[in-house]
Amino acid sequence: MACAKTLAAAGHKVILAARNVEKLQEAADEIRASGGEAIVLAIDLASTDSIQAAIKQAIAEAGPIHILVNNAGVTKDGLSMRMKVDDFNSVIQTNLVGAFVCAQGVMSGMMKERWGRIINIASVVGEMGNAGQSNYVASKAGLIGLTKSLAQELASRNITVNAVTPGFIETDMTAVLSDEVKEKMLNIIPLKRFGHAEDIANAVGFLAGEGASYITGHVLKVNGGMYM
């Protein structure tokens, strides 16, 4: 949501898409109240049909898509020796395959316009690994590789593709962790604080703007120095 608000504040018409449209509607209302434009769509990133239908609807309602932010992050944690293959596959399907299908769905329009920004939200653990998250780590590491491949394929059409790798960010996903785990994380973050959603949104806003027009295939670490 913070990314959507940042892009809206920069003058972009934003489309918020997820399974939980009620949460999105709250963010869209805030954007509209601030004078921005926002559309809410339902999408299931585990379903190729759902993604394709949502992109078609988005283009019909808002016109060509110039900026795509892939920000899926489902988890089904567990040690590898006990992890169900279905749990591995479902995380890969949403976090990695879903991002690919989204990118594939918008790139032809960007190529026609000869301008585009694709920004993939990966994770610090996609770079450093993390015990008990082999499926999530694989999906985010794969997203970094996808970013670099798409950057090479689309650069000639003035489309940049970059990744942002958040560190420990205060979100609903991290709120459920124990105080012991949080303290352990703080001890390995040089800046000695957890990140905020706005820290990621600021990075996305930069990569989406003209100031980043000569940056592509880059992995922007927003982790407080947790991994360098």
Going along the chain from its start, the domains and CATH numbers come out as 66-222 (3.40.50.720)
Token pair recorded at residue 69: 């932010």
Separation CA 40–CA 69 (nearest Å): 15
Identify the three-state secondary structure at position 83.
coil
pLDDT at 215: 98
CB atoms closer than 10 angstroms to residue 33 = 8
pLDDT at 174: 78
| Tens of pLDDT, residues 9-60 | 999 999 999 998 988 999 999 999 999 999 999 999 999 999 999 999 999 9
Cα distances (angstroms) measured from residue 191 to each of 11, 88, 162: 32, 33, 24
Place of tokens 């922007």: 220
Edge to edge, what strands does the sheet with 159-166 contain?
67-70, 116-121, 159-166, 219-222
| Tens of pLDDT, residues 28-40 | 999 999 999 999 9
Q: Residues 190-216, buried b or exposed e (16+ Cβ, 10 A)? A: eeeebbebebbbbbbbbbbeeebeeeb
Q: Which residues pair with 39 in a beta bridge?
A: 15
CB atoms closer than 10 angstroms to residue 64 = 13
pLDDT at 178: 84
pLDDT at 114: 98
pTM metric for this prediction: 0.96
pLDDT at 171: 82
Of 15, 90, 1, give the one whose Cα is nearest residue 47. 90
pLDDT at 175: 79
Q: Which residues are catalytic?
A: 136
Q: Which residues pair with 68 in a beta bridge?
A: 118
Mean pLDDT of the chain: 96
Separation CA 91–CA 84 (nearest Å): 11
| Tens of pLDDT, residues 76-118 | 999 999 999 999 999 999 999 999 999 999 999 999 999 999 9
Amino acid at 194: F
Assess contact for 111 and 154: CB atoms under 8 A. Answer: yes
